[in-house]
Amino acid sequence: MNYISDNTQSIKHSKIRKMFNKALEYDNPISFTIGEPDFTASDNVVEATIRALKEGKSKYSENAGIKPLREAISRYLERECGLLYNSVDEITVTTGAMGGIYQALKVTLNPGDEVIVSEPCWTNYAQQIKMCGGVPVSVPVDFENSFSLDPEKIERSITKSTKAIMINSPCNPTGTVLSEEVLIKVANIAKKYDLLVFSDEVYKHIIFDEAKHISIASLPDMKERTLVFDSFSKTFAMTGFRVGYVAGPSEIISNITKLQENIAACVAMPCQYGAVEALEGGKEHLNMMVEQYEKRRNYISERLSKMPYIKYEKSKGTFYAFISIKDTGMTSEEFAMKLLEKEQVVVVPGDAFGDFGEGYIRISFATSMENIKRGMDRIESFLVNLKVWKAEA
Ligand SMILES: Cc1ncc(COP(=O)(O)O)c(C=O)c1O
């Protein structure tokens, strides 16, 4: 008897994990795989969480999350994005954005419903869509177009089964921030074909230069068909707290909460109090982190620009650099494995983010400047030697 369901068997482990495991075989690796801030939560957030515990706020909370947190989220969305969501029935607190996206897919997809995802994209979308009986439909984004969404390609991929478009801006892994012009076009497509838009905005504050985050939900007539996913993980360096939320139309939100009631009841109550403090306790910690990420991105960009075989366009947001290695003639996996073997540097092969990520690697700069400097030296040495090997061949 095979005890594992067909659906679960169709779900794949991420290649990021494969690289991570492989790196354990080496004694001095420098890892650029990390998808979480190298900072910890700020002291005021930690203190608020401990205070909640000491005050006995360690029970089950309402399924949708504690009222003070939903109210704080409502104020924050208005302040930061001009979005008006009421805390009573348009916001629900979830186990990170990950839990929110999964529950939203579960609530909205019927078997065979298609969800359009731009690719390369965060690995979990396709798996979660499949876990919910849906079908991910990939639309490629290109280096030449700064990895921005191509609305025409999206429109061409719509079928009778299309239910939703998933967007992620700023984007993991490409670091792209979608412009207002592109968002308007995507919004018009969603309205024309009566589609939902899932807008994953977890990196919205990690943004550089002149780039501006715009939530597609803020565009005319989009609030009623958009689900906004956000979390405390990246913005406030609170990955382990597992607090996120979904904002959207009350009918969908109440159904997400109904699932929460049956899955985990609620998010850990003390962590929810920590999250209130994150939203209300000032932006000093966040600003410090973004400043560091920007310095690191600039350094990486400067170093990579002098190396042979690779192309990199400065990330507009997130803490990832998505780098073309096509000119080496190697596949992403070959490149990543050889780099590990020769120089003990761990990067994520681009095809971990879908087939259209082939020909790229992802570097996370959520690691110290010291690591970045040493890692860049090693990558440079790898590429220079590659040039010598190629010349000799
Ligand atoms: C694009 C994107 N969305 C969502 C998440 C999930 O974050 P969390 O569940 O910690 O909020 C991640 C984490 O890496 C991500 O990169």
Give all domains of the chain, ordered by start, each with its CATH number. Answer: 6-40+284-387 (3.90.1150.10), 43-280 (3.40.640.10)
Average pLDDT, stretch 343-350?
96
**Which of the listed residues 122, 272, 362 should we mutate to test ligand 1's pocket, taking the one with most ligand atoms within 8 A of CB?**
122
Residue 167 has pLDDT above 90, yes or no: yes
Query: What spacing in Å lies between the alpha carbon of 231 and ligand 1's midpoint?
Result: 8
**3-class state of residue 251 by DSSP:** helix
Confidence band, pLDDT 50/70/90 cuts, at residue 126: very high
User: Measuring CA to CA, how many Å separate 378 from each of 67, 140, 307, 337, 371?
Assistant: 50, 31, 11, 14, 11
For ligand 1, the distance from its centroid to the CA atom of residue 125, given in whole angstroms, is 10
State yes or no: pLDDT of 23 exceeds 90.
no
pLDDT tens across 68-112, in order? 999 999 999 999 999 999 999 999 999 999 999 999 999 999 999
Q: Among 233, 315, 322, 362, which is best to mutate for testing ligand 1, by the most ligand atoms less than 8 A from CB?
A: 233
Question: Residue 266: what are its φ and ψ, rounded to 5°?
Answer: -165, 175
Q: How confident is the model at residue 274 (pLDDT cuts 50, 70, 90)?
A: very high
Q: How far is the CA of 30 from the centre of ligand 1 (A)?
A: 23
Give the mean model confidence (pLDDT) for residues 339-363: 96
102 CA to centre of ligand 1 in angstroms: 11
pLDDT computed for residue 131 by the predictor: 96
For residue 279, give the nearest of 93, 79, 61, 51 by alpha carbon. Answer: 79
- Banded model confidence at residue 40, pLDDT cuts 50, 70, 90: very high
Evaluate the CA torsion angle 76, 77, 83, 86 in order and state its sign: negative
Phi, psi of 200, rounded to the nearest 5 degrees: -90, 110
In angstroms, the Cα distances linking 273 to 70, 285, 321, 327, 384 are 11, 18, 33, 50, 51
Determine contact, residues 270/97, Cβ cutoff 8 Å.
no
- What is residue 318's predicted lDDT score, i.e. its pLDDT? 98
Query: How close is the Cα of 387 to the center of ligand 1, in Å?
Result: 37
Residue 286 φ then ψ, to 5°: -60, -45
pLDDT at 390 over 80: no
Confidence band of 222 (pLDDT split at 50, 70, 90): very high
Amino acid at 326: K
pLDDT of residue 18: 81
Ligand 1 pocket, Cβ-based, cut-off 6 angstroms? 35, 96-98, 122, 168, 172, 200, 202, 231, 233, 239, 244
- Which three-class secondary structure state does DSSP give residue 92? strand
What is the predicted pLDDT for the residue at 386? 86
What is the atom index within ligand 1 of the atom nearest the CA of 95? Answer: 9
